[in-house]
Structure 1
Amino acid sequence: MNISWVVAIIVCFASILVLRPIAVNWGLVDTPDNRKRHVGNIPLTGGVAIYISTITSVSLFVDLSQHINLLLVSISIMVFIGSIDDKYDLSAKLRLIAQTLIALILVFGTGIKIDSLGNLFGLGEVTTGPFSEVITVLAIIAGINAFNMTDGIDGLAGTLSLISLLAIGLVVLDGSIKLIVGVMSSALLVFLSFNLGLFSKKYKIFMGDAGSMMLGLTVSWLLIVISQSEEMSIKPVNVLWFIAVPLVDMIAVMYRRVRRGQSPLVADREHLHHVFMDMGFTPKQALLIISFISLLFGLTGYLSSTYNIPEYISLISFVLIFIVYNIVLTNRHKLKFNK
């Protein structure tokens, strides 16, 4: 095991234990309501613990370039905003403004942006031209909110983030990014052990918006880096498979909200995990099924890249997945597996 992973595990474990009583004293806890059906007040410290362990390991074991420094700064700001949101429940507009500013820091600070969408239609490369910065910022915001919206049942946001990070780790060429992926994945494993109550339900924690938005930012940015930078590791369309579950779920749910005349950012019980629970599955069963689906999608992206599958086939397949998901969502109340 890499020493940086060991440090991340130890620091994350210690941070969770130290932060727990502090969170309770500060009121940084998640309280049950009509939409949140857990039992008791749960500390929202998981994201901060993952952040502390990641920052510690990266600072010790990575050669800090301008790119890495800007990524760490952006992650730090995201965790700060997320923690304030966890405590005071910021408006969607304020969160969106903060996410936009963070995305702008990364795009203009590093110069990395989505210049190419690849040969999507088999007719040649599709470029973004003068809209590259805008598209990149929107992609980062989409990634942040996609993972944030998956944080609805125990283990889901953490597991989906872990799968995405592991998929990135399989294809990335840059050693520094490989190490960041490794230490964040190690910290996530520690968080999941507490979040799923593997030690004791007494020590249960949530990652909070600080964690889900930080992970969404990190994953979406790394996907842009591996598909757009000089050391391109994977074709742009194939990275969609690495975040297929959060992305498809977010787009479908937001589409349905807009059709109903609601804000696309309003909270509801329309997400994929709710769909499975409406079908009669327990939260743990829903977690296992969704995680397995995400693994299959990640494997699809990896194999599509490895065997150089035409990009238009990958795009058509992804669109078909979206259509099927919308059909299932529309007919969710007709589908019952456990009576």
Structure 2
Amino acid sequence: MGFGGVGIPLRELALVLLVGAAITYLTTGLVRYAMMRSGFVAEIRERDVHRQPTPSAGGAAMFTGFAAAVFLASQLPALTRGFMPITPEMNAIIWAGLVIVVVGVIDDLVELDALTKMIGQILGAVTMSLLGLRWATIFVPFAGGTTVVLDSLQSTIITTIFTVLLVNAVNFVDGLDGLAAGLGMIAGGAILVFSLTVLYDQGGAVSAYPPAIIAAALCGICAGFLPHNFEPSRIFMGDSGSMLIGLLLAAASTSASGKITMSLYGAVDVVALMSPFIVVAAAIFIPVLDLVMAVIRRLSKGRSPFAADRMHLHHRLLRMGHTHRRTVLVLYLWVSVVALGAVSFSVVPPKIAALGTLVAFLGAAVATAIPLLDGKIGTRRVTSLSDSQTQLPE
């Protein structure tokens, strides 16, 4: 499809998104039925907000939707530049996704220990890197700016660390119905918009196709899963789903940012060179912030960084007085402001982008402070999945 004289496959990417959503929506119902019939439901833990046993492993349905969307993309002439033999990245993410989802489903069913799950995450990240989706260069903006070219070992190490970080960030933030799916959809949407701007600016650069396809499929599977998962949830995505979202965000981010070189923009345009990193960092800012805060909090108390607690950002918003649904919507709003605000600088003039982002930031701050403005600080009765009431501890 033409866009401003440049071939931008908008219709094809939209079709990829819609197919991912449709297949995920339909498959999720089948997975829920199978889990209910087999008796595999998530037990209630002390840190959980829900109060009704609910089937998990929705990530299996999400991966099915993702695989279907990628297969469709591989059959569309306008998107074949994103596949082998031109680039191995889509092949890499399919195999890495399969590894992550298998580990996640096992964990959803029998609850693996933290070390085993971490080994599975590393295996998925290394698989993705060795098959060709990895950081190849890193732009350093200091002293006039330079591009560091990574060898195989360096790129694999950096890609693995970055991927495992994101996988755990999304896994940590997955504590309320619809939260991880919504954040994944918003962050994926931001990366998709950025990839489209690169396709437009670079006249259809091959390097921009994989992140655009991955981001479109990610948005689709999250959108398809949300109707089943938004409060009150009928099925959880489980670790299989949250880890898959983290992997796909890492893959799209790596593909969008890991190949940027000075030759694409010119040595003097530092802002343009840094824009991929800014957009990616913004898209994943909230989950990573929650992860970093959790690790610092737990280590400062002499606990394992993987020890569960009720001090995540969504728990704090609930204690402020937000309802379950409003907490999710507030976090959606913040991720949208940060991620789409960063993207706006590559789409519209900087002054307009800065003004719009500032207004959106103030709006998000007001929405967050609503319970304080109402004088409802402290414990609040929140609706659980069974529509029964539970009170959060101070």
Q: Is this contact kept in 2: 1:235–1:305, CA < 8 A?
A: no
Which of 325, 340, 353 aligns to 1:284? It is: 325
For residue 132 of structure 1, report the CA deviation from its aligned partner: 4.2
Q: In the alignment, which residue of structure 1 is the partner of 2:39? A: 27
Cα distance in 1 between the residues matched to 2:234 and 2:165: 29
Q: Does 1:209 align with 2:231?
A: no
SS at match of 2:92: helix
SS at match of 1:116: strand
Q: Does 1:229 align with 2:252?
A: no
Greater shift, 71-80 or 2-11, is seen at 2-11
Q: In the alignment, which residue of structure 2 is the partner of 1:179? A: 213
For 1:248-282, what per-residue CA distance to the aligned partner results, in whole angstroms no more than 9, with x for missing partners?
11011101111111111111111100111121211
Q: Is this contact kept in 1: 2:96–2:128, CA < 8 A?
A: yes
Q: Is this contact kept in 2: 1:117–1:237, CA < 8 A?
A: no
Cα distance in 1 between the residues matched to 2:134 and 2:260: 9
Q: In the alignment, which residue of structure 1 is the partner of 2:175? A: 152
Letter in 2 for 1:94: T
Cα distance in 2 between the residues matched to 1:208 and 1:271: 17
User: Normalising to structure 2: TM-score of the pair?
Assistant: 0.72
Greater shift, 39-48 or 86-95, is seen at 39-48
Q: In the alignment, which residue of structure 1 is the partner of 2:134? A: 112
User: Structure 2 regions of 5+ residues with no counterpart?
Assistant: 1-10, 75-79, 200-207, 265-272, 351-375, 381-394
Cα distance in 2 between the residues matched to 1:103 and 1:48: 18
For residue 178 of structure 1, report the CA deviation from its aligned partner: 2.2
Greater shift, 252-261 or 56-65, is seen at 56-65
For 1:32-91, what per-residue CA distance to the aligned partner results, in whole angstroms no more than 9, with x for missing partners?
221113132211142211111111121133244222111101001111100000011111
Q: In the alignment, which residue of structure 2 is the partner of 1:124? A: 145
Letter in 1 for 2:177: D
SS at match of 1:110: coil
Cα distance in 1 between the residues matched to 2:296 and 2:147: 25
Q: Is this contact kept in 1: 2:99–2:123, CA < 8 A?
A: no
User: Normalising to structure 1: TM-score of the pair?
Assistant: 0.83
Cα distance in 1 between the residues matched to 2:150 and 2:259: 16
- Distance 1:142-1:117 versus aligned 2 partners, 3 A rule: farther
Cα distance in 2 between the residues matched to 1:282 and 1:251: 25
Q: Is this contact kept in 1: 2:59–2:237, CA < 8 A?
A: yes
For residue 139 of structure 1, report the CA deviation from its aligned partner: 0.8
For 1:125-146, what per-residue CA distance to the aligned partner results, in whole angstroms no more than 9, with x for missing partners?
4748674432221111000000
- Distance 1:3-1:134 versus aligned 2 partners, 3 A rule: closer
Q: Does 1:46 align with 2:58?
A: yes
Greater shift, 136-145 or 35-44, is seen at 35-44
- Distance 1:3-1:237 versus aligned 2 partners, 3 A rule: closer
Q: In the alignment, which residue of structure 1 is the partner of 2:125? A: 103
SS at match of 1:223: helix
Alignment of 1:59-98 (within 5 A): 59-62=71-74, 63=80, 64-65=83-84, 66-98=88-120
Greater shift, 156-165 or 220-229, is seen at 220-229
Larger radius of gyration: 2
For residue 156 of structure 1, report the CA deviation from its aligned partner: 0.7
Letter in 2 for 1:7: V
Q: In the alignment, which residue of structure 1 is the partner of 2:367? A: none
- Distance 1:108-1:274 versus aligned 2 partners, 3 A rule: same
Cα distance in 2 between the residues matched to 1:27 and 1:115: 48
For residue 307 of structure 1, report the CA deviation from its aligned partner: 7.1
Cα distance in 1 between the residues matched to 2:349 and 2:168: 30
User: Structure 1 regions of 5+ residues with no counterpart?
Assistant: 310-334
- Distance 1:280-1:236 versus aligned 2 partners, 3 A rule: same
Q: In the alignment, which residue of structure 2 is the partner of 1:243? A: 284
For residue 192 of structure 1, report the CA deviation from its aligned partner: 0.7
Letter in 2 for 1:299: L
SS at match of 2:131: helix
- Distance 1:175-1:117 versus aligned 2 partners, 3 A rule: closer
Q: In the alignment, which residue of structure 1 is the partner of 2:298? A: 257
For residue 215 of structure 1, report the CA deviation from its aligned partner: 0.5
- Distance 1:94-1:220 versus aligned 2 partners, 3 A rule: same
Q: Does 1:275 align with 2:287?
A: no
- Distance 1:28-1:115 versus aligned 2 partners, 3 A rule: farther
- Distance 1:259-1:337 versus aligned 2 partners, 3 A rule: closer
Which of 163, 184, 193 aligns to 1:140? It is: 163
Cα distance in 1 between the residues matched to 2:40 and 2:28: 13
Equivalent pairs counted in the alignment come to: 313
Letter in 2 for 1:25: R
Which of 11, 15, 18 aligns to 1:3? It is: 15
Greater shift, 236-245 or 224-233, is seen at 224-233
SS at match of 1:32: coil
- Distance 1:287-1:16 versus aligned 2 partners, 3 A rule: same
Cα distance in 1 between the residues matched to 2:92 and 2:156: 17
